[in-house]
């Protein structure tokens, strides 16, 4: 069963733990949100699930009770020890806990990641975008259901023409379809975060597009100077200024003076170098 606010406070007090803001420790205390996360991810017995920042294991327990096998990565040594000693033995052989930084182990070292797996997590907000970028390098999960800062979720869902549309929007939406999610009240956490939260749900596309590292670097550069025109930006980034790609923009009805945020997703997916490593 998910932990209540009383359960959470009691366990933290017994362990002498004060939530660390640097680790993004806002513990989920709303059982309905925990159950909704599993429902969105369609967690079923035998599923392989990655969890990032399990904390006291309220989501972990529910995943295990649903019959999933869980690979979790937890940075806090005391919490990792608690999970191994108190949660793991309740479901022998199905909790694989890695004490490490999720940025170094974004999918918790799950074995055979080419085989289907899901990610369900109350993600530490400070790492959400760099962690997501690491996950998008592949292999990709089938489903992701993540508790995110609402501002980050808005960037991930942003469409061309929006000021929020950026490189992470391109990389994520090229690999995943965005499914319905919803805002989550701060009352669902202990301690209450200073920002709005969002339960974010995405599903891997039948044919996901993964951007090579070199291409991602150039696209990021373009959005770091998003007020500049795309033709100007590419002259300093590509040997020929991306002449053929600029021609494809023009053929699609766009001017070389267009800004990065106004270029459609499908055109970004044909960017020079998309066939490379």
The number of beta carbons lying within 10 Å of the beta carbon of residue 226 is 16
State residue 18's pLDDT score: 79
State residue 22's pLDDT score: 67
The pLDDT tens digits along the chain (277 residues) read 788 889 888 888 998 877 777 677 889 999 999 999 999 999 999 999 999 999 999 999 999 999 999 999 999 999 999 999 999 999 999 999 999 999 999 999 999 999 999 999 999 888 999 999 999 999 999 999 999 999 999 999 999 999 999 999 999 999 999 999 999 999 999 998 888 999 999 999 999 999 999 999 999 999 999 899 999 999 999 989 999 999 999 999 999 999 999 999 999 999 999 975 5
Asked if residues 41 and 62 have their Cβ atoms less than 8 Å apart, the reply is: no
State residue 31's pLDDT score: 94
In sequence order, the 6+-apart residues with CB closer than 8 A to the CB of 123 are 24, 52, 53, 131, 146, 147, 148
State residue 215's pLDDT score: 97
State residue 5's pLDDT score: 87
For the chain, the structural domain boundaries read 5-204, 215-268
Q: Which residues pair with 275 in a beta bridge?
A: none
State residue 120's pLDDT score: 98
State residue 1's pLDDT score: 73
Asked if residues 52 and 123 have their Cβ atoms less than 8 Å apart, the reply is: yes
State residue 276's pLDDT score: 55
Tokens in use for 212? 């090579």
State residue 265's pLDDT score: 97
What secondary structure letter does DSSP report for 190? E
Q: What is the CATH number of domain 5-204?
A: 3.40.50.150
Length of the chain: 277
């Amino acid at each position: 069963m998910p932990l209540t606010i009383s359960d959470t406070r009691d366990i933290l007090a017994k362990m002498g733990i004060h939530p660390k803001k640097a680790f993004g420790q806002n513990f989920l205390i709303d059982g309905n949100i925990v159950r909704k996360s599993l429902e969105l991810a369609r967690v079923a017995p035998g599923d392989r699930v990655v969890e990032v920042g399990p904390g006291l294991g309220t989501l972990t327990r529910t995943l295990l009770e649903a019959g999933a096998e869980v690979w979790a990565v937890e940075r806090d040594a005391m919490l990792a020890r608690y999970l191994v000693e108190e949660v793991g033995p309740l479901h022998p052989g199905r909790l694989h806990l890695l004490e490490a930084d999720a940025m170094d182990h974004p999918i918790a070292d799950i074995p055979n990641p080419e085989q289907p797996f899901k990610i369900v997590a109350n993600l530490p907000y400070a790492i959400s975008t760099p962690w997501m970028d690491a996950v998008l390098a592949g292999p990709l999960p089938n489903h992701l259901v993540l508790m995110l800062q609402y501002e980050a979720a808005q960037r991930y869902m942003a469409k061309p023409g929006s000021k929020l549309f950026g490189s992470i929007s391109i990389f994520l939406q090229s690999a995943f379809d965005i499914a319905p999610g919803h805002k989550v009240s701060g009352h669902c956490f202990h301690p209450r975060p200073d920002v709005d939260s969002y339960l974010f749900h995405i599903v891997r596309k039948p044919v996901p597009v993964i951007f090579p590292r070199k291409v991602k670097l150039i696209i990021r550069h373009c959005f770091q100077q998003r007020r500049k025109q795309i033709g100007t930006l590419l002259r300093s980034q590509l040997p020929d200024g991306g002449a053929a790609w600029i021609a494809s923009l023009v053929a699609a009805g766009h001017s070389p003076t267009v800004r990065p945020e106004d270029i459609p997703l499908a055109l970004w997916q044909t960017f020079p170098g998309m066939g490379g490593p």
